[in-house]
């Protein structure tokens, strides 16, 4: 374990220790000599040298220690390597803890492999959502300190496994026992919401975008489309924007895409200088119909042809709404079932440094204790009166 300070510059506050020393020296009462008549005839002798003397040194030491601890608290002391390296046991929901024979489980250090990693003795977690098993295993490996033994008990068939076996920074005792995972509620599929900004020259092709948006909705519901002219305000970044206008893209639109938005522009719109588009949708002759360019955190797509059946016959095909939706909203794969033996974690993953333990609460308790002792000494009737 290694102690450290997150704000070492705060130690300059130790100069404040000079303040109680100066007050203590200045508050000493002066000794004024009184002349007697019989003493004035005596021969004057040299005065003895005065010596610096600290009165009530214990009270002074307490106050100096209080100031030093306050400065230490401001400097934010921490302790690296203080995380516990005790064995950690994780049970997949659906497994009966009574059927698991493990010393860690008996010692009460077992947790459910669920959101928040609740303790086993707190009861079984509720299956309110699909359990992202792979993500939970990776997050658990990142949260545990290096060198802490990890045991994960799973049933023979897993739910919530993703397409890649977890690669962890440690070897895991992957135990397979009889049982079944709790089935979570299916994740609802969010329908895409689009916004259209177009000029008069591209108004004829908007009918195909409206028809696609209507096809995405359940029967009887209107299309979720925010339509307006080019000078209308840009939508929120969670909407898919169709910018049907030619020429250079406005700077406001570029910033909107760079901040995480996704826009599809007309075929006569100019891509940013130096951009190399990648084809996303091609026709039967491998000619691109839609191409994409990343911009910042967002993505810019462009039709390579005008939205006219003569130029783009795919507009009249029955699968056009589905193909367009797959471009702007890739289908999210629901959690898959996997064999537990085939999903055992691999080693060689990245190890993560653990956050240091914050020592400020302990310093605060010590400050409070010293303050009580200092107040007791300062208000005690048995204090010696300073000369």
Check whether residue 167 and residue 248 sit in a common domain.
no
- Last residue within a domain, chosen from 152, 186, 220: 186
Residues 321 and 378 in one domain: no
Do 273 and 166 share a domain, yes or no? no
The share of the chain scoring above pLDDT 70, in percent, equals 80
Q: What pLDDT does residue 229 have?
A: 93
Cβ atoms of 7 and 72 within 8 Å: the answer is: no
pLDDT in tens, 77-114: 888 766 677 888 888 887 877 777 666 565 557 888 88
pTM: 0.47
Maximum pairwise Cα distance, the chain: 132
Instruction: Please check whether residues 107 and 172 belong to one and the same domain.
Output: yes
Comparing C-alpha atoms, which of 157, 153, 162 is closest to residue 180?
A: 157
pLDDT at position 247 over 80: yes
Which tokens go with 32? 């004024």
Q: Which structural domain, as residue segments, surrounds residue 384?
A: 1-27+54-82+356-387
Rounded to the nearest angstrom, the gap between the alpha carbon of residue 330 and the centroid of all alpha carbons in its chain is 25
The DSSP element (H or E) to which 88 belongs, if any, is: strand 88-91
Last residue of a domain, one of 153, 186, 219: 186
139 and 238 together in one domain: no
Structure tokens at 159: 């739910």
Task: Note whether residue 234 is domain-resident.
Answer: yes
- Is the domain of 148 the same as that of 225? no
Note whether 111 and 156 are same-domain residues. yes
Residues 6+ away with beta carbon under 8 Å from 110? 89, 90, 91, 97, 100, 102, 104, 119, 120
pLDDT value at 132 more than 70: yes
- Render pLDDT for 281-314 as a digit per residue (tens, 0 to 9): 988 888 899 999 999 889 999 999 999 999 999 9
Strand 225-228 with 194-198, pairing? parallel
pLDDT of residue 307: 94
What average pLDDT score do residues 14-26 get?
Answer: 77
């Amino acid at each position: 374990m290694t102690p450290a300070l997150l704000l070492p510059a705060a130690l300059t506050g130790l100069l404040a220790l000079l303040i109680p020393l100066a007050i203590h020296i200045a508050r000493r009462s002066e000794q004024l000599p009184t002349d007697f008549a019989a003493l004035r005839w005596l021969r004057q002798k040299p005065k003895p040298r005065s010596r610096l003397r600290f009165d009530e040194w214990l009270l002074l030491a307490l106050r100096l220690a209080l100031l030093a601890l306050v400065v230490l608290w401001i400097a934010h002391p921490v302790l690296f390597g203080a995380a516990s390296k005790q064995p950690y046991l994780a049970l997949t929901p659906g497994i009966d803890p009574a059927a698991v024979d493990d010393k860690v489980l008996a010692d009460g250090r077992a947790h459910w492999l669920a959101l928040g990693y609740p303790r086993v003795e707190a009861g079984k977690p509720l299956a309110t959502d699909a359990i992202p098993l792979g993500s939970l295993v990776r997050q658990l490996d990142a949260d545990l300190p290096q060198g802490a033994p990890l045991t994960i008990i799973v049933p023979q068939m897993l739910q919530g496994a993703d397409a890649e076996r977890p690669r962890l920074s440690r070897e895991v005792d992957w135990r397979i026992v009889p049982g079944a995972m709790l089935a979570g509620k299916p994740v609802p599929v969010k329908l895409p919401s689009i916004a259209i900004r177009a000029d008069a020259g591209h108004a004829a092709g908007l009918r195909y975008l409206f028809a696609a948006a209507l096809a995405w909705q359940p029967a009887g519901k209107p299309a979720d489309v925010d339509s307006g002219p080019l000078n209308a305000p840009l939508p929120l970044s969670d909407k898919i924007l169709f910018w049907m206008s030619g020429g250079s893209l406005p700077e406001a639109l570029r910033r909107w895409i760079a901040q995480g938005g996704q826009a599809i522009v007309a075929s006569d719109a100019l891509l940013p200088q130096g951009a190399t588009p990648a084809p996303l949708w091609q026709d039967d002759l491998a000619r691109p119909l839609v191409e994409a360019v990343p911009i910042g955190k967002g993505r810019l797509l462009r039709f390579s042809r005008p939205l006219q059946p003569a130029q783009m016959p795919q507009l009249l095909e029955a699968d056009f709404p589905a193909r367009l939706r797959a471009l702007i909203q890739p289908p999210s794969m629901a959690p898959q079932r996997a064999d537990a033996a085939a999903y055992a974690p691999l080693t060689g993953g990245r190890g993560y440094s653990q956050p240091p333990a914050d020592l400020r609460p302990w310093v605060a308790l010590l400050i409070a204790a010293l303050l009580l002792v200092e107040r007791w000494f300062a208000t005690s009737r048995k204090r010696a009166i300073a000369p």
